[in-house]
Structure 1
Amino acid sequence: RAFDVLTNATPATVITEEDEVETTVGGAIAVRGSFLIDEEGVVRHAVINDLPLGRNIDEMLRMVDALSHNQEHGEVCPAGWQKGKDAMAESPEGVSSYLSSHSESL
């Protein structure tokens, strides 16, 4: 499914609080974002970075894998989870079991 790209046709222009148009000094600053949108059109993960911060594409791909795993197996994928690794059941018992069996690697 395709989504429109959000852009500003005049990126070096800003609108002030007084609704006046001003041109920025030094040009526009790049702001980059990545959005993970599920099959229902719901934004499930969003990362927005300004100029000094780069995006981590490997982390975005990990999020895609984690969402796919959750949709297929109903399990929660913890931080740092990788495709093919254990996940946890969506319950207090599932979290407890996962944490107990993975305490050495956490």
Structure 2
Amino acid sequence: MTEVRYPVEPLTRFTSDLLAAAGMEGGKAQTVARLLVLTDMLGRHTHGVALCPLYLDQLEKGLMTPHGEPECPALWCCSQRPPISPNGSFPVLSPHL
């Protein structure tokens, strides 16, 4: 099977346009599209643009909100500087912040 590759910008714009046409707010559609394309670029194709049809279906059925802000239940993700692991590469979730 030959792998098909698309330029990043047109694919991101297309994905964003699809989400916006389904009712997602413009800025949020752009962010979600950028993250889906980035996920594909990282090689996680099952969690990239392939999810767009599912998102569109959920938006149409009212199962996904087209607006709003993310909730942040963990204190560390809301801080300006997340804690870093001892080797400096991965954030660590610590209950002692």
TM-score normalised over the length of structure 2 = 0.29
**Which is higher, the Rg of structure 1 or of structure 2?**
1
Which structure has more relative contact order (CA 8 Å, sep 6+)? It is: 2
Pick the structure with more strand per residue: 1
Pick the structure with more helix per residue: 2
